[in-house]
Amino acid sequence: MKFAIVHSAGFKEVGEEGLAREQKMVEIAHKHGMRIYGPNCQGIQNSDPEISAYANFTFVPMKPGNISIIAQGGGMGELLKLHLHNVGIGHRLYCSYGNECDLTMPEMLEYFGQDEGTRVIMMQTESFKDPAAFLEAASKITPHKPILAMKCGRTAEGSVAVSSHTGSLIDQNAMTRAMYKKAGVVEFTDSDQMIKAAIALSTQDAPRGKRIGLITNTGGPGIQAVDTAISEGLELATWSDTGKERLTRDLYAEASTGNPVDVVATAGPDHYFAAMDTLLKETETDMVMVFFVTAPFVDLDAIATRIEEAAASSTKPVVVVVETIARWGALIDRIRAAGVPVYEFPEDGVRSLGAMHRYAVLRDREESAAPELETDRAAADKLLARYKGMDTYLSQVDAFALLEAYRIPVPRIAAAGGEADLADASAVVGFPCVLKVDSAEVVHKSDEGGVVLGLADLDELSSAFAAMQKKFSAVDAGFVVQEQAPAGKELIIGASEAPGLGSLVMFGLGGIFVEVMKDVAFSVAPLSIPEAREMMREIKGFSLLEGTRGETGIDLAAVEEMLLRVSRLVADHPSIVEMDLNPVFARPDGATAVDVRIRVRQDRPA
């Protein structure tokens, strides 16, 4: 026997005794060449008529389909299957993997990706046992097959206290989002929306672009569809002169030929076909949604037939929203059987198209490896070796030296242990200069009076030093004198450990605003050039960086390079568990990291 499915509970989910029992079971199985699936799981299903595997506790009938489901929790897995069943749609493969003691979720995912009968994969997870293995498996699948995923437990607070801005902003949700983004997985926070998107992707290809055409036979739902489209990041398509002329010619005079196209309530079969055919042939239209109220005074069967014919004539995705009663349920079944997804609300139809677009963007993005960068890695290795076995923060001088080793622009800096060092330190950095406290006990230096700017000469520096030395006499503190860098827009670039995955890099608006506005983006290190560019454009404040209302924009290329270099630094040195470059002063002619905080920890390799 090669495999065993263990449904039983009472293993690691109940504590140490259960964990020991689980480990012993795996040990015995491996001794006899057996793999264990589970425990604490529902089991598997395969709807292929030649296999018909049904190891499951519930009684949702198996109907062949092309949507496959991977769920850590059996209850959520059943919810996904049941909803598909209730709208007459089958599934292909199903696995509820529970504790994942031996056979792993990435192994199952890889099998689903290779299965020719699976067109779409839906996933529900509660945790990732091996994030790196998941990332590798998913990245191989998403270029040719969509993975739609939802993680439960997104709001749980982390158990480890962190002191950096980046660390405080990273939670399991941020890590999961970054991992999904890098792998090309479409993320959902709502199971109903994920199911509806899977239905759309199970019968149609993803759109080429984000321009949507809307058709309705009543006004209100069309307006709602417009609002939803904009919130989904879609654009309303516009029609060519030829398209406008055809709509005007083929629809009732009372019809609206804008977007949405309102064919009016009395529209018949040929009106629907004309509207759909016109929009689908427009080069500026990438997808179409049709809203259809089943009015009793028109030929509904004929309308359904013409909708099916129009949809079949194009490779562009079409979804239909039918507002009706149970009497016309067979009408909905007919349209679905023709491969056209049918929904109850306009929001559902538009969101499904929006999800298809998100997948297309992820699938079609430029693929490239992290670039090779000129660095002095030997100097960085030597510096970090001095901290081996420690859990501490680098001194300011060492932190700046580490950045310099990776060619990250920083101001000149010099340590000042006492007043006697000030003259030599100021000679190194010049005036005007900045005085800073340097202590692991002082987290936010500017908030605690540990930064004095604009010191014009040695007298001002000496006076500021005496005051700061007195202020921080109760803590273990040193001091540094730093060149005052030219001001610019304040950004933050940071990194924090992501257990099992490496490190996450963060980018956003910096200075004192980072924890207030939290306008940040995350990605998994190391970054490729397209990933760095995408991160920068992901924040809501990106237009401020480009330059708006007469303001000059920043040097985006310089910031992009800094992101790449930070990501390479933390990828090369996993002992770095937290890093903040905050603020980074970004100007039209470059960018400089003017303050840095770097923590290393002994339980990660240097």
Residue 375 CA from chain centroid, whole number: 29
For the four alpha carbons of 573, 575, 577 and 579, in that order, the dihedral sign comes to negative
Residue 69 above 50 pLDDT?
yes
Q: Choose between 425 and 61: higher pLDDT.
A: 425
Query: Strand pairing partners for 43?
Result: 96
* Average pLDDT of the residues in 197-213: 97
Residue 22 above 90 pLDDT?
yes
Q: In what order do the strands lie in the sheet with 478-483?
A: 413-415, 478-483, 433-438, 451-455
pLDDT of residue 153: 72
- Per residue in 335-378, pLDDT (tens digit) is 999 999 999 999 999 999 999 999 999 999 888 889 999 999 99
pLDDT band of 168, cuts 50, 70, 90: low
pLDDT of residue 57: 65
- Name the CA dihedral angle for 95, 100, 106, 112, rounded to a multiple of 10 degrees: -10
H helices of 53-120, in order, are: 74-86, 105-114
Which of 151-155, 433-437, 445-449, 453-457 shows the lowest per-residue confidence on average (mean pLDDT)? 151-155
Which token pair is 357? 């677009």
CATH of domain 412-484: 3.30.1490.20
Residue 606 above 60 pLDDT?
no
- Per residue in 237-268, pLDDT (tens digit) is 999 999 999 999 999 999 999 999 999 999 99
3-state secondary structure of 349: helix
Q: Classify domain 3-201 at the CATH superfamily level.
A: Succinyl-CoA synthetase domains (3.40.50.261)
pLDDT of residue 512: 65
Domains 3-201 and 211-364 share a fold: yes
pLDDT of residue 518: 81
pLDDT of residue 585: 97
Residue 30 above 50 pLDDT?
yes
Class for domain 211-364, per CATH?
alpha beta
Q: Choose between 226 and 156: higher pLDDT.
A: 226
* Average pLDDT of the residues in 204-224: 96
Report domain extents, the chain.
3-201, 211-364, 368-410+486-606, 412-484
What are the angstrom distances between the C-alpha of 556 and each of 369, 534, 543, 553? 20, 12, 11, 8
Which of 132-146, 205-219, 539-553 shows the lowest per-residue confidence on average (mean pLDDT)? 539-553
pLDDT band of 56, cuts 50, 70, 90: low
| Surface-to-core class of residue 544, CB atoms within 10 Å of its CB (0-12 exposed, 13-18 middle, 19+ buried) | middle
CATH of domain 368-410+486-606: 3.30.470.20
Mean pLDDT for all residues in the chain: 92
Query: Within a 10 A sphere around the Cβ of 188, how many other Cβ atoms?
Result: 24
pTM of the model: 0.88
